[in-house]
Homo-oligomer: A and B are copies of this chain.
Amino acid sequence: MKFRLSPEDLWVGRWTRALRHTRAPGLRHGIGHDCAVLASPPPGSDLVFKTDAVVEGVHFLRSTSAPLVGRKALARALSDLAAAGAKPLAALVTAGCPDKKTAVRLQSVYRGFARAARHWRVAIVGGETVRTRQLLLSVSLLGTVPRRQSPHRGGARPGHLLFVTGTLGGSWPHRHLTFTPRLREGQWLARKKIPSAMMDLSDGLGADLPRLARMSGIGFQLHPQKLPLAPGATIRQAVTRGEDYELLFTVPPGQAARLRKTWPFSTRLTEIGVCLTGRSGFQTGGLHLQGYDHLR
């Protein structure tokens, strides 16, 4: 019998051709095998593990530039790694593909993946394909962080100050596709052991800040007039729009002066409130807290 590639294997070959130049240090085997196998990171590291998906009609449109769809899918997952203070190591991509037209489009999506992977030095080492009713891209990321130094959402205490990087409310129409995940800022903050809690803002401050508060068992006072607004954005948009991909973190008051003095980035840094006891609730100066909800 003469061997012919199946349609699935043909398409996967076409999509992943763009990924040939992204390589992970210590990669034993990657694309084309059942699993990706990598050398363990050096001792003294913890592993950081994350998965994030983008779906047509929710996170991008049929008319969105295909390479920017790949870029966004990878950058969103990298933003979560930034919040954990982690350095990316390797990624897997799951492509949900409804039809042949989308399969053609996926070639450009993967070129966006490849470019973004080179830029942020993360290798795409495998993945898989499924038939879905709408284009979907799910990225799994593996990263490393110095042992026991990864910030999380649960360490904020009453009296700690609330900070955000960058500006809020400016995700539409373009920035949600072209934002820079705050990897360098997150890694620096974790290394300096400054944040008592940290997360990235993906669903908007109005949805995400209450999540951090709940995991830490605290209340907070938010100063709406202090929010760093993106050009043209209103306070309401800064709270509800989502997709800012900035870092939200809390800092013990004794660390705030050191943070402001040694912050080495051009990225804006703004104090937006203070943590209170859990019983104090959420004090927002009358601002209604709401963000993006995937199941509303």
Known: A58-B131, A84-B35. A1 touches B92 (CB 8 A): no
Known: A92-B140, A145-B37. A283 touches B49 (CB 8 A): no
A142 at the interface (CB under 8 A from B): yes
Q: In the complex, what residues of B have CB within 8 A of residue A282's CB?
A: 1-3
- Chain A, residues 126-146, CB within 8 Å of chain B (1/0): the string is 111111111010101011110
Contact A129 B1 (CB under 8 A): no
Q: How far is the CA of A131 from the CA of B48 in the complex (A)?
A: 25
A295 at the interface (CB under 8 A from B): yes
A274 to chain B, nearest CB (A): 16
Copies of this chain, count: 2
> Top 7 nearest A-B pairs by Cβ distance?
A140-B140, A35-B84, A34-B83, A35-B50, A133-B133, A8-B295, A33-B152
Other A-B contacts than A29-B150, A52-B128, A55-B130, 4 sampled, CB-CB below 8 A, are A39-B147, A51-B92, A53-B130, A131-B295
Interface residues of A (CB under 8 A from B): 1-3, 6-9, 11, 28-29, 32-41, 43, 45-55, 58, 80-81, 83-84, 86, 90, 92, 94, 96-97, 100, 103, 125-134, 136, 138, 140, 142-145, 147-148, 150, 152-154, 198-200, 207, 210-211, 213-215, 281-284, 287-291, 293-296
